[in-house]
Every structure is written in structure tokens, then in C-alpha cells.
Amino acid sequence: MKELLDALSNPWPWYIVGPLIGLTVPLLLVLGNKPFGISSTLRHICAACVPMDIPFFQYPWRKEIWNLLFVVGIFMGAIIATTTLSSQEPVQVTDELRAELAAYGITDMKGLVPKDLFNLHNLFTLKGFILMIAGGFLVGFGTRYAGGCTSGHAITGLSNLQWPSLIATICFMIGGIVVANFVLPYILRL
């Protein structure tokens, strides 16, 4: 049992995780003709919980209850993973990246996100507001504007050879490269 927990608590290689994620798409299609994606879940939650006459939320959301359960499973899996399988070792990054992050004041490399950036105190600073509130809004807006999230387009859309998903995935990658190399360093200097 200890060997199993050790195997689960350490990062898995890409050649195992990639095919497992990739096999989710045909599994969902075979089991119920369902596309893989997460961003539509917020729409389902709003349609279920907000009884207003907003046309965007007027659709048979009960047929998509599987998607809500899928996201609940992801959330519960994350809780289990962080409480029982997480390693107390610092995240492994190169010395160059560690030095670059230290120049921005990010030194706590334990956990999935740097606590130097993402904490309740920083939420009320300009940097925290930009990273957590404005960034979250832009991700949500971009997801709806693109007609889906990165997992929906890059995994499901590309595997179904959908031209709009290829364009969206290319734009996601270009946007990520630009923000990570030009916008984020400016924000971290605030």
C-alpha cells in the first residue's frame, strides 16, 4: 500500500498522463456522446440556481448533470490529493527560474501556487487584484468568447478535427506566451 501511495503522490510522466487524458475523450463519446470540457459547468450551475428569464440560461440543463458531477469529482479528487497525497517537498524548478522568481519576491515554492502571490492579504493589493480578480474575469470572459476552455478545444476539439478548435488552441498558446513573457513580469514588479 505504501508503494501505491508513493506512486500516486509523485508526478507521473507525460507519456502516461497524456494518453489517460486523451482517452477521456473517446470514453465520453462512446458512453454518452458527451464532449469533454469544463467551462460550460458554470453555465449549468447558473441555469440551475438562478431562476431568471435570461435567454442564455434557458435550456435543458438537467441533461448536462453529468458535467456537474464530473466537476464535483475533480474538486473532490483535488481535495483528496492535496490532503493525503501531496508532497511536502518544494516544487522542483530550475535554478534560473528560482532566481527569476526570487527577483519578483516569490520565494515560497511549496504547494501548487506561490503563497507569496496568492493569499488573502494580497487580494487587497493592486497586484493581487490584477492577478486574482481581473485575471479570473479575463479567463472566464475569454472562455465564453472562444466558445470553450483550453481543455475543451485542445483535447476534444482537436481530436475531432474541428478547425475552430485549432484556431482557438493556437490563440491560447500565443496568448499564454505573450502574457507569461511580457505582461506577467510587469505585473509582478508592481
Same domain, 64 and 132: no
Same domain, 77 and 121: no
- Note whether residue 76 is domain-resident: yes
Given this model, what pLDDT does residue 87 score?
67
- Note whether residue 61 is domain-resident: yes
Given this model, what pLDDT does residue 29 score?
82
Taking the complete model, does pTM exceed 0.85, yes or no? no
In which domain, by residue range, is 171 found? 117-190
Question: Residue 59 — pLDDT band, cuts 50, 70, 90?
Answer: confident
- Note whether residue 24 is domain-resident: yes
Question: What number is the average pLDDT over the span 46-59?
Answer: 82
Instruction: Give the chain's mean pLDDT.
Output: 85
Is residue 112's pLDDT more than 70? no
Give the count of domains, the chain.
2
Domain boundary among 86, 105, 126: 86
Report the C-alpha gap between 145 and 159 in whole angstroms.
21
Higher pLDDT, 90 or 27: 27
Same domain, 125 and 52: no
Domain boundary among 45, 64, 86: 86
Q: What is the pLDDT of residues 61-85, one digit of tens each?
A: 888 888 888 889 989 988 888 787 7
